[in-house]
């Protein structure tokens, strides 16, 4: 199972409203570090499948979302709790850093 791509701002907004904990990997096909983070995001999707919704968002086709949340460099992992942006992790990080960030919002 891999993290699915969000198909546009409408779907993004629907997920924000419906998911108590939403993790969004802001990525782009041309981004080298994003390729390093991608398998970790897929692993998050598996490990947290029953507790959080983990998705990917291609910023090239969703520039409005990037602008809305001030995403200036990628990879950036946004964590939303109850529809509010709780934390943004920028750059390639070890898996444990993503899980410890998520675990804070599950407690």
Is 26 catalytic? The answer is no
Percent of the chain scoring above 90 in pLDDT: 97
Tell me: the pLDDT tens digits for 86-98? 999 999 999 999 9
Classify the phi-psi angles of 40: left when phi > 0, otherwise alpha if psi is within -120 to 50, otherwise beta.
alpha
Of 22, 23, 24, 31, catalytic: 31
pLDDT digits (tens, 9 = 90+) for 33-70: 999 999 999 999 999 999 999 999 999 999 999 999 99
- Give the model's pLDDT for residue 97: 97
The stretches of 2-94 forming alpha helices (DSSP H) are 9-18, 32-47, 63-68
pLDDT at position 101 over 90 = yes
Q: Is the peptide bond before 37 cis (omega within 30 degrees of 0)?
A: no
Q: Given this model, what pLDDT does residue 1 score?
A: 67
Clarify whether 31 is annotated catalytic. Answer: yes
- Please tell me the CATH code under which domain 4-106 is placed: 3.40.30.10
Report the pLDDT value the prediction gives residue 33, as an integer from 0 to 100. Answer: 96
Q: 22-31 b/e with 16+ CB inside 10 Å = b? A: bbbbbbeeeb
77, 38 contact by CB (below 8 A): no
> Which residue out of 3, 34, 76, 79 is catalytically annotated?
34
């Amino acid at each position: 199972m891999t993290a699915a791509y969000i198909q546009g701002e409408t779907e993004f907004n629907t997920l924000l409203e419906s998911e108590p904990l939403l993790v969004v990997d802001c990525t782009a096909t041309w981004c080298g570090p994003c390729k390093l983070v991608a398998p970790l995001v897929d692993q998050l999707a598996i490990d947290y499948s029953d507790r959080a919704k983990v998705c990917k968002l291609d910023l090239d086709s969703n520039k409005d979302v990037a602008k809305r949340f001030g995403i200036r460099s990628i990879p950036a992992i946004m964590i939303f709790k109850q529809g509010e942006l709780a934390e943004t992790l920028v750059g390639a990080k070890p898996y444990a850093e993503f899980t410890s960030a998520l675990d804070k919002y599950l407690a």
